[in-house]
Structure formats: C-alpha cells, structure tokens
Amino acid sequence: MQTGENDQAMRKILDMTRLISLVVLILHFYKECYAAFAGWHFVSTLTDRLLENIIRTGLFSNFYKAKLIALGFLMIALIGVQGKKDEKQTFKTASIYLLTGLVFYFISGLVLLVKLEVSVVALLYMAITTLGYMLFLSGGTMLSRIIRDKLKDDIFNTENQTFPQEERLIENEYSINLPARYKLKGKVRNSWINYINMFRALLVLGSPGSGKSYFIIRHVITQHIKKGFAMFVYDFKMPDLSVIAYNTWLNNKDKYKVEPKFYSINFDDLSHSHRCNPLDPSAMLDITDAVESARTILLGLNREWIKKQGDFFVESPINFLTAIIWYLRKYKDGEFCTLPHVIELMQVEYDDLFTILRTQKEIEVLINPFVSAYLRDAVEQLEGQIASAKITMARIASPQLYYVLSGNDFTLDINNPAAPKIVCMGNNPQKIQIYGAVLSLFTNRLLKNINQKGKLKCSLVFDEFPTLTTDIIPTIATGRSNLISTCLGIQDASQLRKDYGKEQADVIMNIVGNIAAGQVSGDTAKQISERVGKIMQDRESLSINRSDTSISKSKQLEAAVPPSRISSLSSGEFVGMVADNPDCKIELKAFHSEIINDHDALKKEIDGYKEIPLVRKLDNAIVQRNYIEIKQDVQRIIQLEMERLLSDPALMHLVIKK
C-alpha cells in the first residue's frame, strides 16, 4: 500500500544513494588529481590519512573501479525516480543523453595523459567527467518522464483485434479447404479455412476486385470436381469459370464411378453451346411446375415484379403464361412444349388462342377471367392482363435463344447417378436482363430436378447470384439431406435486397451456415462483424495532470473484426465463419485471414487450359430455319386444332368467334 510515509522514506533512500555516488566520485577526483589539490592547498593530514584507509579497501585498485561504483549507485538512484510525465519526451532523446554521458564519463581519462600544467589537466578531467555524469543523470531522469503507452504503437488497434484461428487441416469427402495466414499478437501464422459442411451453403461476399472468384469460387469448383461431385456452374462472365470446370473435369474423370459428361450453354456462341429445353415435358409432372416456370421467367424479365407478387397485374400474366405452358405440355404429350413455342403461341389472335386453350380442362380456371373479359369486350382489362406478358416475353424472341431452348442435348437432372453431368451456363454482362431471365428458368427447373433422395452428391456454384431470379431458399433449407452443396457469390447484401426484396434477401443472408466476406461496407460489414462476434481486448486510458500521470488498464469485450476493418480489407483477405458437423466439432469457427494462392502455379495452370470444344458447326441459315419452323409449328397446331373442333359437333361450342 502506497502512503505518504512510504514515499518520503523512498525519497530519502534515493537521496542517500545519489549522495554516495557523488562522494565516491569526489574521492576518485581527490585521489587521481592529488597533485593539483596539493598545489591548491586543499590537502591536510586528516584527509591524507582518510584517503590511505580508503585505498586499503581496494576502492581505487583500478582507475575505472571507483567510477563504475559511482555510476552504479547513480543508476540505482535513477531506477526509483518518478519524474512528471511529459508527452514530448522520447526514448531517442533520452538514449542520446545517456550514451553521450557515458562517452564523456569514460574517455575523460585520456585527458590525464596530456602534457599540460597539472592544475589545468585536473580541471579538464574533472569538468569532462562531471559533464558526462550530469548528462547520464539527465538522460536517466528523461526515461522516467516518458509515457510508456502501448496505444502509441498500435494506433489502429490492429494487434488488439487479432484472435486464434484454426491451424489444422480438417478434411472430408465433401470439404473445401483453403490455406491461409493470419496475424496473432504481432506474429504471422499459417492457418486453414475448413468448410467441412458445404451442404449448409457458402455465401461469398465482396466488392468487385476483392477476389471472390480467384481466391474462393475457383477452388470450390476444382476441389468438388476432384471429389466426384456433379456440378452446375452459373458463369456470369462466360467462359471464366467454365474453362476451369472443363479442364478440371478433363483431368479428373477417373474420380467418378460413372464418368460424367460436360455441357455448356452459351447464347453468344452457339457453336460452343449445347441445346436444352428447360420446359422438358418429362420433368413437368403437374401444373405446379408450369406455375413455377411462368413465375420465374416473368419475374426475371420484370425484376420490379418480385416486390409486387400478389398484385392483380402481376399474377394475371403469370396465370396466362401458366395456361400456355400447360396446354403445350398436354398437347401431343409435350411434343412442342418448349419456351420458343410458348412465346409464339402467346402471339396468336385471341379468337384462336382462347378457343384451343379451352380444350384443356385443367387450365380452364386459369383462362376463364381472360375469356370472360374478351367476350364482354373489356379490352382495356384484357390488355392489362395479357399485354404485359406478351410484351415481356417478346424480348426473348430471338433466333439464337430459340435455337438453344428448342433442342434437347441433355436433361437437367445433373446428379442422376447413372448419368452425372457437369453443366456450365453463361451470362453476358451486356445482356443481363434477357439472358438472366432464361437462365433463371434453367436453374429453377434444375433445382426442382436435383432436390430428390438417392441422387449423387452435387455442387451448385452461382457467380453474381443476384443477376438471377432463382428461388434458392428451399434448396439451401432442404437440400442438405440430399447432398446438395450451394455456393453463392454476391457483391453486397444491398444488391441482394435490390433484386430480391428485403425479406427474401434477409432469409438468404441468415440461412447460410458458411460465409466468407471480402471488402464490403455499410450494413453488410456490420452484419458480418456481428456474425463473427466479440473477443476480449485490452484497453488503456491515459490521464495527465499537473502533478501526476496515470495509465489505467482493463479488459473489455469488443468486436473481433469491426465494420471499418471489413470495409478496408485487401484483395484476398476474407472474414467469415465456418459450419461444423456433429461428429467433427470446430471450436475456432471465425477467421480473419489472407487466403494463400500459389500465383505462379495457377498462372501455369491457366496457360495450359484447353478451350471448351466446338459442339457443332453452325451457320446462320440453320438458326433461321429453326426459328421459322417453330413459328410454323404453332400455326399448324392452331390449324389442326381448329379443324378438329369445327368438325366435331360436340366441341363446336368451344370455338370463339367475334
């Protein structure tokens, strides 16, 4: 316990120690400069006898012994000094004083070798030694006045925000393992980001250039193909990810029990694109499949409708499109059930269109409002219900899209154990809205097909996921038991809210078990920071007043990675959480590390990649002929059905004529 009496006693001891140091130094001067003191008549029999007795103790057995003893007592005295703290004092200034003082203090002995008058030599020696002594004393006093505050060394609190991370490689047959390095208390350590349960979904966030694809998504593709997964890749900038998937597949076909086939959809380069019918009748088992398909394609083409689902002028076009799809599904067992045929059939005159639609009892409830409005001459209402669907669908009425969507090179059951597939579908940033709507239809039908029991493990990779209108939530929520891994790449949560609405975006953000965030800011950074959680951090407070300076230390729970740090991450740096398994617990789930990529090896690997091969030789004439044939198919359907109805008296009442 510190009291006034203790302080006073300590000061007396320090004063005594300092006095002993001075007495020893003065005795040293008296002994070494005795001739000068004699010339000044500063000697006596008493002092001579006293000096002789001191010499017998061995104090002056060596020239430097007395000086070292004097310096030692001075250092002891300085240890207990508590000078008033000064923010301007630095270790550099104090060190200069200390070193300069030591130099003067010990080299002053050279003056005694100079051949000058004895009194002059003695004065010079004592003056230089005293100067060195005083400089050392001043330097020691400065040290006691320096504020020893860790806050000055770590102004951004970087070291305080480090925490232990998983350094073990934990691997299983489904995992994604990324080597990384992180800082812990000033030291760089190697670690592993172990996504051992990818069936709980992985969300990869980061602004453009943060390294989502290069540091994470590419490894999801390569590692899962090497582990025998069927795969679907949504390649926003075709063929960046598709080339990786294709070459990894080429080198790892032997990892599968049944060798998978590779397919790609590329609307910009039809020669390198396979053909696939997303409305394949074999996969459309009931009318609910038609409803989902209609909703997907229309919401994809009208992104604002996502936030208005339930409105009359949103649901009406969906019902109308559903009726068209289901009619073609039932007509001749789906021979013409393709999206191009749907688009063309929508453009038929109302008399003929409503007549043939009335032949299907299952869609009667869907088309009845439209037929009633037409018969009552409610043209404005009818156009409001139907025109928005017709105009919207007309955007994708191009020969190129018709060619891809009307073929059947493969089906979307990619995780069929008997015929596994690796499918890559590419978008074009210049045509996001059109291609995105069609690709959304592909992905929704694919999700419906794969989320079943007894299928092969499969991996879904979506780069720039918000450019699709895919309802991924049921797959994430229920696909885990069916071995479906999902990886979603997005730039920011606000981008997800813009395209999907707040409620659906929040569900996607919160339902995923694994997350990796590069540089993001705003609400997204706050959400990631809260998800990583808090750690115990050291806190220091500095108080300076006229008479004293105090530093208080404490520990406090603070954010392990604050939002400001997440918003300033470098490319390749990621913050996030991993999910574990019941049989493999991971205690250190949070990470804030830099993912290590072997850039040279990756560059060589990329340079050795083979291009996706040509699917078929194609010219514009073939594409145009297919386009015309689809139009002719629809005309034949109308003609044959009208003839059938008109020739049958029992069905003539279905014919509408105005």
* pLDDT one-digit tens code per residue, 452-470: 999 999 999 999 999 998 8
Query: In the predicted model, is pLDDT for residue 550 greater than 80?
Result: no
pLDDT confidence tier of residue 148, bands split at 50, 70 and 90 = low
- Measured between alpha carbons, how far is 108 from 113 in angstroms, rounded to an integer? 10
Listed by start position, the domains of the chain span: 4-146, 163-190, 278-396
pLDDT value for 1:
46
pLDDT confidence tier of residue 508, bands split at 50, 70 and 90 = very high
Q: What is the mean pLDDT of residues 402-420?
A: 94
Tokens standing for residue 380: 């404005």
- Measured between alpha carbons, how far is 287 from 279 in angstroms, rounded to an integer? 12
Longest dimension (CA), the chain: 155
Query: In the predicted model, is pLDDT for residue 547 greater than 60?
Result: no
Q: Are 508 and 566 in contact (CB under 8 A)?
A: no
Which of 70, 65, 108, 83 lies closest to 11 in space, CA to CA?
83
Which of 159, 161, 169 lies closest to 578 in space, CA to CA?
169
Which of 171, 206, 159 lies closest to 518 in space, CA to CA?
206
- Measured between alpha carbons, how far is 557 from 583 in angstroms, rounded to an integer? 30
What element of type H or E holds 488?
strand 484-490
pLDDT value for 55:
77
Tokens standing for residue 631: 């139009």
Query: In the predicted model, is pLDDT for residue 570 greater than 70?
Result: yes
pLDDT confidence tier of residue 150, bands split at 50, 70 and 90 = low
Tokens standing for residue 227: 């582990």
Give the burial class of 533: count Cβ atoms within 10 A of its Cβ; 0-12 exposed, 13-18 middle, 19 or more buried: middle
- Measured between alpha carbons, how far is 233 from 227 in angstroms, rounded to an integer? 16
pLDDT value for 5:
63
pLDDT value for 249:
96
* Cβ contacts of 554 within 8 Å, gap of 6 or more: 538, 539, 540, 541
Average pLDDT, the chain: 88
Query: In the predicted model, is pLDDT for residue 371 greater than 90?
Result: no
Query: In the predicted model, is pLDDT for residue 545 greater than 70?
Result: no
The number of angstroms, rounded, from the C-alpha of 360 to the middle of its chain's C-alpha atoms is 51
pLDDT value for 505:
92
What element of type H or E holds 91?
helix 91-107
The number of angstroms, rounded, from the C-alpha of 46 to the middle of its chain's C-alpha atoms is 86
- Return the HEC string of 579-596: CCECCECCCCCEEEEEEC
pLDDT confidence tier of residue 237, bands split at 50, 70 and 90 = confident
Which amino acid does the sequence have at 290?
A
Q: Which of 137-146, 517-526, 541-550, 553-562 has the lowest mean pLDDT?
A: 541-550
Query: In the predicted model, is pLDDT for residue 50 greater than 90?
Result: no
pLDDT confidence tier of residue 75, bands split at 50, 70 and 90 = confident
Query: In the predicted model, is pLDDT for residue 84 greater than 80?
Result: no
Higher pLDDT, residue 118 or 423: 423
Which of 91, 94, 100, 93 lies closest to 132 in space, CA to CA?
100
